[in-house]
């Protein structure tokens, strides 16, 4: 009997140990996710999905906020914090894409670094092992064609280049890789059918920039309001282009809550605001647009945040395992993996 109890006790210990190993996953290993600005519904969704997915894979996902600091200083602080915390890989959505100074310490320690949603410019040198972004240029160009057809009654072709729409453009950061791809798709690839009405220039150096507030939505609304009575006014535009959804919402709110501005929504060939991200709040706002209730965002592009962050986490885990097998991660990828995005229009408008 004593022998039987000893055997059962041993079995119990083994079972208990197995249970502990399973519950701990990869011994509590973690991955860092560095986001340029938490104050964005799209990134909030991405972080929540990422935490759930990482947990399923046996990892913790630690998140860090760069607070829209385009200087890159907060990126540097967050990479340092991630390394101090012991994150086995770093997935970064850089606030400053022109300088890789933030990630150099991690690269020097052979910590896998991945870009997400926005990628460092190739000119910086080493960018990390891989990148995962939305396809943004083609989707933005498709969105322009839909809005142009809504206004002009026909799609842009070589025979109607004399029919131009006026566009008021708003950036959060003119150096941001993702916004540049969106601007290229919507504006630069269709410049024969577009006239920019605010801060005219060449290439990416045109349009207004939402500065003065960490909340880019509020900042965009403030800039639009300050420019309303100037030669750079959005009131002269058929379309307001926003580099992301929070800015689209901020400008919509600024116009809709001002009795002097809100008539802009009701002019037949004006009143069209477009964004990019496809977060739930903006998708809902787009769905509310009708011919009789035009004070809503007309179009946006839905990014598949869940697919993007899951792909990045899968790659991070692969690189962590490679490093455990004495295989150091690559330090400079050539091209990001692009995840398809889609245009969202009001019900009945996708014709």
Domains of the chain plus CATH, in order, are 29-134+304-340 (3.40.50.2300), 137-302 (3.40.50.2300)
Token code pair at residue 285: 């706002």
**CB-CB contact of 48 with 62 (8 Å):** no
Cα 346 to Cα 20, 50, 244, 288: the distances in Å are 51, 29, 18, 7
pLDDT tens for residues 269-290? 999 999 999 988 999 999 999 9
Q: In DSSP terms, which residues pair with 274 in a beta bridge?
A: 241, 299
Task: For the chain, count helices (H), then strands (E).
Answer: 10, 13
pLDDT tens for residues 88-124? 999 999 999 999 999 999 999 999 999 999 999 999 9
- Which H or E run includes 209? strand 208-209
Percent of the chain with pLDDT over 90: 87
**CB-CB contact of 11 with 215 (8 Å):** no
pLDDT greater than 50 at residue 243:
yes
Report the alpha-carbon distance of residue 185 to residue 139 in Å, rounded.
7
Q: What is the band of 242 on the pLDDT scale with cuts at 50, 70, 90?
A: very high
Of 4-18, 99-113, 232-246, 327-341, the range with the lowest mean pLDDT is 4-18
Q: Which region, left, alpha or beta, applies to residue 155 given φ > 0 means left and ψ of -120 to 50 means alpha? A: beta
pLDDT of residue 16: 35
Token code pair at residue 17: 């140990």
pLDDT tens for residues 160-207? 999 999 999 999 999 988 999 999 999 999 999 999 999 999 999 999
């Amino acid at each position: 009997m004593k022998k039987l109890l000893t055997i059962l006790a041993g079995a119990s210990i083994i079972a208990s140990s197995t249970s502990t190993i399973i519950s701990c996953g990869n011994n509590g290993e973690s991955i860092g996710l560095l986001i340029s600005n938490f104050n964005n519904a799209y990134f909030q969704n991405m972080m929540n999905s990422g935490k759930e997915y990482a947990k399923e894979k046996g990892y913790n996902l630690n998140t860090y906020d760069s607070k829209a600091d385009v200087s890159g200083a907060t990126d540097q602080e967050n990479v340092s914090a991630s390394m101090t915390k012991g994150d086995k890989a770093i997935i970064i959505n850089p606030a400053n894409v022109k300088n890789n100074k933030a990630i150099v310490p991690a690269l020097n320690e052979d910590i896998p670094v991945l870009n997400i949603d926005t990628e460092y410019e190739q000119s910086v040198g080493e960018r990390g092992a891989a990148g995962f972004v939305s396809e943004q240029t083609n989707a933005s160009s498709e969105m322009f064609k839909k809005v142009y057809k809504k206004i002009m009654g026909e799609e842009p072709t070589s025979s109607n280049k004399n029919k131009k729409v006026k566009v008021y453009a708003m950036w959060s950061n003119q150096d941001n890789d993702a916004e540049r791809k969106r601007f290229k798709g919507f504006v630069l690839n269709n410049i024969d059918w577009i006239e920019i009405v605010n801060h005219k220039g060449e290439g990416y150096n045109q349009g207004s920039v939402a500065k003065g507030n960490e909340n880019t939505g509020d900042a965009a609304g403030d800039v639009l309001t300050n420019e309303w009575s100037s030669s750079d006014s959005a009131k002269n535009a058929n379309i307001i282009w926003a580099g992301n959804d929070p800015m689209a919402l901020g400008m919509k709110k600024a116009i809709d809550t001002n009795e002097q501005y809100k008539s802009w929504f009701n002019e037949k060939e004006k009143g069209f605001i477009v964004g990019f991200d496809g977060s739930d709040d903006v998708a809902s706002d787009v769905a509310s647009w009708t011919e009789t209730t035009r004070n809503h965002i007309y179009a946006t592009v839905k990014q598949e945040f869940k697919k993007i962050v899951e792909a990045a986490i899968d790659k991070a885990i692969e690189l962590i395992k490679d490093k455990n097998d004495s295989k150091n991660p690559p330090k400079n990828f050539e091209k990001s993996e692009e995840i398809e995005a889609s245009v969202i229009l009001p019900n009945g408008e996708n014709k």
